[in-house]
């Protein structure tokens, strides 16, 4: 990996930069905490309002459905399946069949495969690169499988001593 074009720095520069990063991280965490407090306050205020509205909607919808079912013949013209009115539409639809798993999905998939119905089972075949790396396969085996090994290089990292930064910021 090519070296960055930057002037050399001293250990004091490194320490000062880490302190600055640490200070910004603490400020960011504080901002996130303040934002979460505001979100929690808003939720506490609005959740009861939303629940009351949803309960009212559910009550109207139930009353509309039951009343419409009882009055279906008088509401719909012969052969019609829906009624359009000023503020919307009501109607009845035939539902197709639903297929649900009566047993765990893996058992159902295995049973379908035993029946020769692989076409009804989803398979997601993909190489497990971590397992391949850990297996320590020979280079020619990897190449034959369509894999290649590339050098990983180096990654720069930094760790901030948050307690030390916080101690200096409070002083």
pLDDT in tens, 86-138: 999 999 888 777 888 899 998 999 899 999 988 888 877 788 888 888 888 88
pLDDT in the model for residue 145? 83
Other Cβ atoms within 10 Å of 76 Cβ, number: 16
How far is the C-alpha of 51 from the C-alpha of 38, rounded, in Å?
Answer: 20
How far is the C-alpha of 123 from the C-alpha of 109, rounded, in Å?
Answer: 10
pTM (two decimals): 0.50
Top-confidence residue, 99 or 42: 42
Residue in this structure with the two tokens 């509309």, named with its chain if needed: 64
pLDDT in the model for residue 2? 58
Say whether 73 sits in a helix, a strand or coil: helix
pLDDT exceeds cutoff 60 at 83 = yes
């Amino acid at each position: 990996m090519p070296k960055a074009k930057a002037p050399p720095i001293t250990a004091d520069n490194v320490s000062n930069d880490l302190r600055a990063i640490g200070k910004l991280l603490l400020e960011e965490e504080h901002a996130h905490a303040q934002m979460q407090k505001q979100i929690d306050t808003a939720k506490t205020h609005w959740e009861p309002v939303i629940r009351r509205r949803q309960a009212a909607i559910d009550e109207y919808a139930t009353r509309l459905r039951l009343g419409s079912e009882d009055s279906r013949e008088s509401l719909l013209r012969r052969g019609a399946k829906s009624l359009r009115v000023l503020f919307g539409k009501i109607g009845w639809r035939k539902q197709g069949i639903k297929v649900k798993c009566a047993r765990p999905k893996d058992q159902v998939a295995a049973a379908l495969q035993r029946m020769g119905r692989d076409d009804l089972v989803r398979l997601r075949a993909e190489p497990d690169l971590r397992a391949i790396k850990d297996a320590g396969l020979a280079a020619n085996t990897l190449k034959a499988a369509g894999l290649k090994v590339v050098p990983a290089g180096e990654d720069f990292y930094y760790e901030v001593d948050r307690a030390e930064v916080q101690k200096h910021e409070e002083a």
